[in-house]
Amino acid sequence: MKNQRKLIIITGPSGVGKGTVVKEILEKNNTFWLSISATTREPRIGEKDGREYYFLTKRKFREMIIKGLFLEWAEFAGNLYGTLEESVTKKINIGSIVILEIEVEGAKQVREKYPNTLSIFLLPPSKKELEKRIRNRATDNEESILRRLKRAEFEIDSSKEFDFAITNQNLDETVEEILELIKVSN
Ligand code: 5GP
């Protein structure tokens, strides 16, 4: 893949606000493209296949792993999530900046494969605030919330492995900081 700085990872624990931040970034710059991941998780109310995710069975997902179709994939809170390599390379080859909004393990795989990727880790202002955000989102059941919180501890510990760590205290400031980082690194 040429022009590897065209690949931007936004990672961090579930509930930190990655989705909101990325949505805002896309609204501010229409030359960016957000990769649509595949997942085996059940769609949440309002989610549409092919828009938020490609919702797949575990069997289909595993077939695609064997075929080598994923740029990266990881298990998260009992489900599989993965980035489709072909769609990402196609977009990069036509000059788009591609954003991956993914969890930490997958982000590490992408960095190993493409060391020149720009990786940004979003930190919550505090663990308490993270729990509040996950609970307020009200999209997950208690078991899933607890799994996500437990995993967040380990995820936050690995924030130093990424190029930049930004505390997501204020949406506008976080977005501006990320846009600036993308600008200076391209
Ligand atoms: P959710 O179930 O809340 O939509 O996503 C759970 C976690 O999986 C989030 O941290 C999200 O960023 C991450 N995720 C979404 N798509 C992918 C992907 O393609 N690969 C990896 N590794 N993680 C993903």
Question: Cα dist. 5→9, 95, 131 in Å?
Answer: 10, 11, 33
Distance 83 CA to ligand 1 centre (A): 9
- Where residue 185 falls among pLDDT bands split at 50, 70, 90? confident
Q: Mind listing the domains of the chain with CATH numbers?
A: 4-185 (3.40.50.300)
- Residue 2: the pLDDT is 47
Q: Whose CA is nearest to atom 8 of ligand 1?
A: 103
Tell me if 61 CB under 6 Å of ligand 1: no
Tell me if 83 CB under 6 Å of ligand 1: yes
Average predicted confidence (pLDDT) for the chain:
93
Distance 103 CA to ligand 1 centre (A): 5
Nearest-atom number in ligand 1 for the CA of 105 is 22
Give the percent of the chain with pLDDT over 70: 98
Q: Whose CA is nearest to atom 14 of ligand 1?
A: 102
Query: Each residue of 59-108: pLDDT tens digit?
Result: 999 999 999 999 999 999 899 999 999 999 999 999 899 999 999 999 99
Give the residue-averaged pLDDT of 109-114: 94
Q: Is the predicted pLDDT of residue 3 greater than 70, yes or no? A: no
- Residue 30: the pLDDT is 84
Query: Each residue of 124-133: pLDDT tens digit?
Result: 999 999 999 9
Q: Is the predicted pLDDT of residue 177 greater than 60, yes or no? A: yes
Pairwise pLDDT comparison (64 vs 134), residue with the higher score: 64
Contact predicate 101/19, CB 8 Å: yes
- Where residue 186 falls among pLDDT bands split at 50, 70, 90? confident
DSSP symbol at 49 = B
Contact predicate 121/12, CB 8 Å: yes
DSSP symbol at 120 = E
**Residues in a beta bridge with 123:** 167
Nearest-atom number in ligand 1 for the CA of 12 is 10
Tell me if 102 CB under 6 Å of ligand 1: yes
Q: Is the predicted pLDDT of residue 139 greater than 80, yes or no? A: no
Contacts of residue 9, defined as CB under 8 A and 6 or more positions apart, other chains included, come to: 99, 100, 102, 107, 110, 111, 117, 118, 119, 120, 162
**Residues in a beta bridge with 81:** 39, 74
Instruction: Output the DSSP codes for 4-28.
Output: GGGEEEEE--TTSSHHHHHHHHHHH
3-state SS class at 71: strand
Distance 183 CA to ligand 1 centre (A): 25
